[in-house]
Structure 1
Amino acid sequence: MARKAQSPFPSINILFFFFSFTLSPFSPQAVSASVFKRLRLFSTEVTQPTSSVLSLSLHPHSSVIKPPYDSYSDLVLSRLAGDRARAKLINSNIERALSAFNRPHDVKPDVQVQPEDLEAPLTPSGGGYVARVGVGQPVKEYYLIADTGSQINWLQCLPCGQCYAQTDPIFDPSGSSSYSPLSCTSQQCTALSRQNYQCGRNNTCIYGALYGDNSISIGEFATETVSFGSSGSVQKVAIGCGHANQGQFGKAAGILGLGGTAVGFPSQIQAKSFSYCLVDLDSSSSSTLEFNSAPPGDSILVPLIMNPKSEIYYYVELTGITINGEQVPIPASAYQIGEDGRGGIIVDSGTTITALPAQVYNSVRDTFVKYAKKLPPAAGIGGLDTCYDLSSTPTRDGFPMMSFQFSGGKTLPLKPQNYLFRADSDGTFCLAFQTTSQPRSVIGNTQQQGFRVTYDLANKMYGFSPNKC
C-alpha cells in the first residue's frame, strides 16, 4: 500500500535556512569513500542489477515544452546567456569543491561546502533535452531534464508546499503502490551524507538539491519503480520527491541526473553504460537515451576520464582541432586533469556552445576564418564573434572541414551543423565555440548532435558513432 502523503513542506526560505546551517561541512573522506559506498549501496538487497537494454525517448526541450519567447532571436539569446552561466558555474563550483578537498583544514567552520551545492545551473530555455520517464505503479510518465551535470534524480510531488509550473500533472506518491520513503539510516540516504541531506520527521530521509542558478528542490528521498516505455522497468530506484521547489526548470517535472556519482541514475540502475543521440535543438524529432546498449560497431572509441576529486562530471582528452588539415593543438595543461583536480575537458549534455581557453579559441577561430573565405560574413550575435550569412546556401566546398583529435590518435570528423550554430531566423550562423577564462573546458551538445554518444562506464570509454539518431 502506498503511504499517505504528509502535510505540505515549509516554505523554501525556511528550508534553505535549515539546510544552510545544520548540515555537516564537506570532507574529502566522503569523496574517497564514494567507491565503497557505490558498491555497498547497490547490493542485491536494494535492487536487482539489470543487463538488458533499457530505452527512453529523448526530445529537444523546445519541441515538447514551448519556450516563452516571442521570436527565435530571443530564444537564441536566452540559450546563450544560460549557456555561458552554466559553463562559468561548472568551473567555479568545481573550484570550490577542490579547494575544500585539497585544503580541508583551511575551510572555516562556518563555511558550508556541499557537493550537491555544486550542481551546474540548468539551461532549460530550449537549450537542453528531456527524457520521457515512467514513474510509479500504475505508471505515470513525466518529462525530466536529462543532464550529465546533475546527480540527484527528482520530480515535483504532491502535496506541494511550493512548486513551479510544469507541463505534466504533478506526481502524487499516495497514488503509487511502489512508492516507499527511505529512512535516515538506509543505504541510499547514507550515500547522500555530506550532500545536503537531513533527517526529518519519523526518521524520513530529506534531500536538498541547490543548483548554481539558485534553483532548488527539497523533499523526501524515496524508492520508486522507474519504467522505460516498453523496454522494461527497474524497482526501488532512489528518487527525490520534491515538495518545495523553485527555479528555472522550463516546465519539466524534474531532473534525470546522469552524473557519475553513486546517486546518479546510471549507478542507481547499475547500468554498465548509457548513450544518447541528440537531434538538432530546433528539430521536432526525437531519439533515444539508452542504458546497457553496446556502442555501434563503427564507433570511434576514446578514453572516458573521471576526476577523483569531482566525480559528477565526465572528462575527455581532446588534444587538438583540425581545420582543412591544419591542426590547432590544445596544450596538455588544458586537456589533462592535474594532480590538484584542476584542468581537463568536460563532455556535457546541458551546454550548447563549446567553451575553450582564450588562447585555444583564438587559434581555432583564426584558422577557421582563414579557410571560410567563401562564406559571407555577418555581425556577431550574443557574444559569438564569428558569424556568417547563410540565407543563400553556399556551395559544399565553401565549408571548411573540421575534426576533433583525441588522445591515442583518434579523429572525429564534424559536419558543418556540428561547428556552426543557428543564431537567428534570417540565416545567420555562428561558430559554435566561445572562450572561457576558467581552468577547464566544456564540449557542448552542438558538437555531439547527430552522433550516438556512448558512455561505457564499465570500460571507461566513450564511443562516437555518426548518423545514429
Structure 2
Amino acid sequence: MANVLFFFVAFVVLLFLDPHVEGSRLSLTHVDSAAQLTSAERFRRAARRSHSRRQAFEGKWSSPSTVVAVVDYAGDTEYVIDFGIGSPVLPATAILDTGSDLIWTQCVPCLDCLSQPSPYYDPSKSYTFSPVPCSSPFCSNRSLTDIGCGGDRCLYLASYGDGTESTGFLGTETFIFGDGSSIAGVTFGCGFQNNGSLSNSTGIVGMGRGPLSLPSQLNPRKFSYCLTPLDSSAASHLFLGSTASLGGNRGALIGSTPLISSPLTYFSTFYYLSLLGISLGGTRLPIPESVFQLKHDGSGGTIIDSGTFLTLLNQAGYDILREEIIKQVRKPAAELPEVIQDLGIDLCFSFHGASSLPPMPELVFHFQGADMRFPRDKYMAYHDELGLLCSVIVGTQSFSFSIFGNYQQQDMHILFDLEANVLSFVPANCNQL
C-alpha cells in the first residue's frame, strides 16, 4: 500500500513539473574508473579510444554524401552519467557525448541487446512514456527516419563510428537525475536492436547542438562540465540549466569565445571554436590563421569534444608546434617504443632515472576573444615506467579539422551557453566543485 501511495504522489508531482529542468548537477564517471589500472594503462586506453574516434570523424568528413543514417561517435568515449528514467524510476547509466545528438537507451522487447549493469527499460511498464508519432516535427529529420514508420511510431537508426548501432522508436519520457531534478517530456530513442560497444552502459546521452540533444531540450539551453584529472578518484561533474555557472570560481579569470556553426547542416552537431593561433614560451608560432579556420565549404575548423582524449591538430599547425617544442626544450626527441607509436604519439623526451622533470614553456591557444593557457602537465604526460615525457597533442594527416580534446580540458570549468552562442572557461579544482 505504501508503494502504491508513493507512486501516486510521484505521478501527481510530475503532472505539475515544468517540462524543462531549472538546474541540475550530475556526477560523471570515467569509463575506466572501476578497472584496476595503472596511470599509464589508463592513458594508453584513452589514447586508443581517441584514435578510434578520429577514424569515425575521418569517415564522416571524407564521404558525407554516402551516409544514410545518424553517424556519431559515442561508442569510444570517456565519461558516463547515472540517471533514472520512467515512472516507476529505473536506473540508467549512459555514455555522455558532445559529438552526437540523440538520447537513447536499450529497451524491451530486446530483439538484440548488449549487456548492461541494470535491467532493460520497458516502456509498457512506465505510465509517463508516450510514443512519438510519425507526424511529430522530430520525425522530419530524414536521418532518423531512414527505416520508415511503423504503427504510427517514429523509427530511428543510429550508427556510430566504432560500429555501434541502435535501431528503435522515439518516445517521450521523464528523466530523473541524482539530485532529484526531473525533466518531463524528454524525447529519446528506445532501442530494441543494438550492437557494438556501450562501455557497460545502457545507452547514450547526446550533448551536441541538434534538436534532439539533451541541452536542446532544456530551458535555458546551457550546460557546463568540470573534468577531474585522469588518475583522480574524484568524480567529474555536469551542470544543467541554472546550475551551469562559473561564478563560484573566485579570483580566476574567466575567458569567453564565440561558439560558431558549420555552414553545412550535416555538421551542425559540433561545437566549433575560432582558434586563431598558438604561442609557446611567449613566442607566437608562424601558423597562418587559415590552418584552423572553418571554411565556407564546411571543411577545417576546430571543435571542442568531451569524448576525445588527445588534442588532434591540423597537421600543418602541429608540425610547426612540434618543431618549436623541440627547439625550446633544447633536447633531442626520444626514439619511440612501439607501445607509444601505437598511440599515434610522435613526440617524447627521455628523462629515465631523472629525479624530477624540468620546467617547460607555457603553451597558449589563442581563441577569438580569449586565451587558454596550459602549463607543462596540460600538454605533456610523463610515462614513468618508460621514462618518457610525451606530447598529448598529435597531428592529423588525413583530415583538415582539429579537435580540442579532454586531456587539456581537465581541471577547467567549461560553460556552453547555447542561447548566447558563447563558450566560457576558467581554471578550477574540479574535485572541489
TM above 0.5, one fold?
yes
Give 1:267 deviation, angstroms. Answer: 0.8
1:194 pairs with 2:143: yes
Residue 273 (structure 1) aligned with residue 222 (structure 2): yes
Partner residue of 1:361 out of 308, 318, 321: 318
- Give the letter aligned to residue 286 of structure 1: A
- Per mean C-alpha deviation after superposition, the further-off stretch among 280-289 and 449-458 is 280-289
SS in 1 for 2:143: coil
Q: Is the 8 A contact 1:76 1:424 kept in 2?
A: no
Over 3 Å counting, the alpha-carbon distance change for 1:422 and 1:115 in structure 2 is: farther
The change in CA–CA distance for 1:173 and 1:391 in structure 2 (over 3 A counts) is farther
Match in the other structure for 1:225: 174
Q: Is the 8 A contact 1:277 1:288 kept in 2?
A: yes
For residues 256 and 154 of structure 1, the distance between their equivalents in structure 2, rounded to whole angstroms, comes to 7
CA shift digits 1:375-432 (9 cap, x unpaired) = 9957351231222456767657523222211123x22111333212355755544101
Output the amino acid matched with 2:57. Answer: I
Deviation larger for 369-378 or 353-362: 369-378
Give the deviation of 1:224 after TM superposition. 0.7
Within 1, Cα distance between the matches of 2:354 and 2:421? 41
In 2, are the aligned partners of 1:421 and 1:432 still within 8 Å (CA)? Answer: yes
**Contact 1:147 1:259 (8 Å CA) reproduced:** yes
1:295 aligns with 2:246: yes
Which sections of structure 2, spanning at least 5 residues, go unmatched? 1-16
Structure 1 counterpart of 2:288: 331
After superposition, the C-alpha distances for 1:30-77 in whole angstroms (9 at most, x for unaligned) are: xxxxxxxxxxxxxxxxx956462222111211114x38x8x7766544
1:163 equivalenced with 2:163 (yes/no):
no
For residues 412 and 394 of structure 1, do their structure 2 counterparts lie closer, same or farther at Cα, with a shift above 3 Å needed?
Answer: farther
Mark the runs of 5 or more structure 1 residues left unpaired by the alignment: 1-46, 101-111
* Other structure's SS at 1:59 match: strand
Change (3 A) 1:137 1:390: farther
Using the TM superposition, name which of 441-450 and 398-407 deviates more.
398-407
Identity of aligned residues (%): 32
Q: Distance in 2 between matches of 1:157 and 1:326?
A: 54
Give the match for residue 67 of structure 2: 113
SS in 2 for 1:63: coil
> 1:385 aligns to what?
346
1:123 corresponds to:
76
Distance 1:75 1:415 in 2: 21
Change (3 A) 1:181 1:334: same
Aligned equivalents of 1:176, 1:160: Cα separation in 2: 16
- Quote the offset at 1:156 in angstroms: 1.1
Deviation, structure 1 residue 371: 2.6
C-alpha distance in 1 between matches for 2:200 and 2:116: 4
- Displacement after TM superposition at 1:189 (Å): 2.8
Residues 187 and 358 (structure 1), Cα distance of their counterparts in 2 relative to 1, 3 Å cut? closer
Q: Equivalent residue for 2:100?
A: 150
Q: Which moved more, 1:170-179 or 1:216-225?
A: 170-179
Any idea what SS the aligned residue of 1:398 has?
Answer: coil
Q: Which residue of 1 aligns with 2:234?
A: 285
Does the Cα contact within 8 Å between 2:22 and 2:220 map onto a contact in 1?
A: no
1:19 is aligned to none
Q: Distance in 2 between matches of 1:270 and 1:95?
A: 35
Aligned-residue offset at 1:359: 2.3
Question: Are 1:60 and 2:30 matched, yes or no?
Answer: yes
Contact 2:209–2:216 (CA under 8 A) maintained in structure 1: yes
8 Å contact from structure 2 (residues 287, 320) kept in 1: no
- Which one-letter code corresponds to 1:194 in the other structure? S
Q: Judging changes above 3 Å, is the alpha-carbon distance between structure 1 residues 376 and 355 closer, same or farther for their aligned structure 2 residues?
A: closer
For residue 166 of structure 2, what is the amino acid of its counterpart?
Answer: S
Partners in 2 of 1:391 and 1:170 — Cα distance? 49
Q: Which letter maps to 2:279? A: T
Distance, in Å, in 1 between the alignment partners of 2:182 and 2:388 is 44
Residue 232 of structure 1 aligns with an amino acid whose one-letter code is S
C-alpha contact (below 8 Å) 2:32/2:42 kept by paired residues? no
- CA distance in structure 1 between the aligned counterparts of 2:41 and 2:179, rounded to whole angstroms: 38
Q: What is the distance in 1 between the residues matched to 2:345 and 2:164?
A: 27
- Supply the distance in 2 between the matched residues of 1:122 and 1:153 (Cα, whole angstroms): 13
User: CA separation of 1:329/1:260 partners in 2, compared to 1, >3 Å: closer, same or farther?
Assistant: farther
Q: Specify whether residues 133 and 427 from structure 1 end up closer, same or farther in structure 2 by C-alpha distance, changes over 3 A only.
A: farther
Number of the residue aligned with 2:268: 311
Alignment equivalent of 1:133, drawn from 65, 83, 89: 83
Q: C-alpha displacement at 1:86, in angstroms?
A: 1.5
Partner of 1:320: 277
* Distance change in 2, residues 1:375/1:225 (3 Å): farther
For the residue of structure 1 that corresponds to 2:326, the secondary structure is helix
- Using a 3 Å threshold, how does the CA distance of structure 1 residues 86 and 277 change in structure 2: closer, same or farther? same
Larger deviation, residues 142-151 vs 383-392: 383-392
Task: Give the alignment's Cα RMSD to 1 decimal.
Answer: 2.7
* Partner AA of 2:118 in structure 1: D
**1:288 alignment partner, SS class:** strand
Contact 1:86 1:351 in 2 (8 A): yes
